[in-house]
Amino acid sequence: MIKARRIGHAVFETTDLERLSDHYTDVVGLVVAAKEKDRRFLASKLGHLAIELRQGSDTGCRKISFEVAPGTDLNAVARELEKQGIRSERSNDPAPTLSQVLTFTDPKGTQLELFAAWEPLKNGAEPKGLAAVKLGHLAYFAPDLTKVVEFYSGLLGFRVSDWIGDYFVFMRCNADHHTVNFMQDANARMHHIAFELADFMHLKNACDVLAKNKIDIIWGPVRHGPGHNVSIYYREPDDQVIELFCDLDQMKDEELGYFEPRPWHRDRPQRPKVWEPGPTSNIWGPPPTPDFMRGRTR
């Protein structure tokens, strides 16, 4: 089994590269690590590559990368994928500090990229805006939820953290409660991308940054049940939903099988479970709007 250890970066196609790049630098607080004619590479203030933006004819998430253990033989991984009937492709230097990657496609059509070695991006620029700490997770709609869960758990080593009913699953590849989550829907597409903030004060400051930039919050602040993160959601210039969050549950010890105790947990200890749909799947805050649940609206 291949074991993903950490989410790397997400690749987005956009029809207006400069506008979207300005949003992620001036509002989200990423810094430009490298520029090409039709591409921008944006990193967190800690030097982790978080977003690649590509000029194109459409908008949307095209690829996600995951880090695997240092020293992993990507040729051996390619052979393992081939046994499963999955075609993959090796490439060199696809992004700054990533020298070798292996690319293949998941069941819902998103390209995945595995890498085993990287270096922090060096950029002296001071982050602007809300200065997000790191890329936290991505959420997707998927037509065949069972197939996607089997792919990420059986092939990439993800574990199920929680379900809401039988239509919404949260999956982790490290101590974070979720790195990807999937919702049942006939049309495959990204629902939201999430950035982690340092703490609740950082989240409050982020609300002020959004207000200063005349950006409406479409949901939140809310404390979720699955993951127990405190979150706000808004739309970026390409109409994709961004989540800003803090206080995400941590599973420090897989053998113990429960999440690090928090004062706001109602189950003690808090173990992975199936949550009832509806208001009970959030601890406090307003319910999601129909507009939020649709993801992209144009």
pLDDT digits (tens, 9 = 90+) for 152-165: 999 999 999 999 99
For 43, 215, 265, the CA distances from 181, given in Å and listed in that order, are 23, 25, 21
pLDDT band at 290 (very low <50, low <70, confident <90, very high): confident
pLDDT tens digits, residue range 29-49?
999 999 999 999 999 988 899
For 11, 119, 226, 261, 280, the CA distances from 264, given in Å and listed in that order, are 35, 37, 12, 9, 14
Task: Please give the pLDDT value at position 296.
Answer: 63
User: Which residue reads 């059986």 in tokens?
Assistant: 154
Domains of the chain and any CATH numbers: 6-115 (3.10.180.10), 134-293 (3.10.180.10)
pLDDT tens digits, residue range 46-61?
889 999 999 999 999 9
**In the numeric block, which tokens belong to residue 219?**
């949901």
Lowest mean pLDDT among 19-28, 112-121, 149-158: 112-121
Task: Please give the pLDDT value at position 118.
Answer: 87
- The contacts of residue 179 (CB under 8 Å, 6+ apart) are 4, 6, 7, 136, 137, 158, 171, 172, 173
pLDDT band at 295 (very low <50, low <70, confident <90, very high): low
pLDDT tens digits, residue range 77-90?
999 999 999 999 99
Q: Which of 218, 60, 213 is nearest to 138 (CA)?
A: 60
For 111, 180, 224, 246, 278, the CA distances from 168, given in Å and listed in that order, are 21, 11, 13, 21, 12
The H or E element that residue 204 is part of is helix 200-212
pLDDT band at 124 (very low <50, low <70, confident <90, very high): low
What residues form DSSP beta bridges with 54? 13, 39
CA distance 241 to 257: 31
Strand order in the sheet with 31-36: 31-36, 39-43, 49-55, 6-14, 60-67, 111-115, 98-105, 89-95
Task: Please give the pLDDT value at position 123.
Answer: 66
pLDDT tens digits, residue range 250-273?
999 999 999 999 999 999 999 999
- The CA radius of gyration of the chain, in Å to the nearest whole number, is 18
Mean pLDDT of the chain: 94
pLDDT at 109 over 70: yes
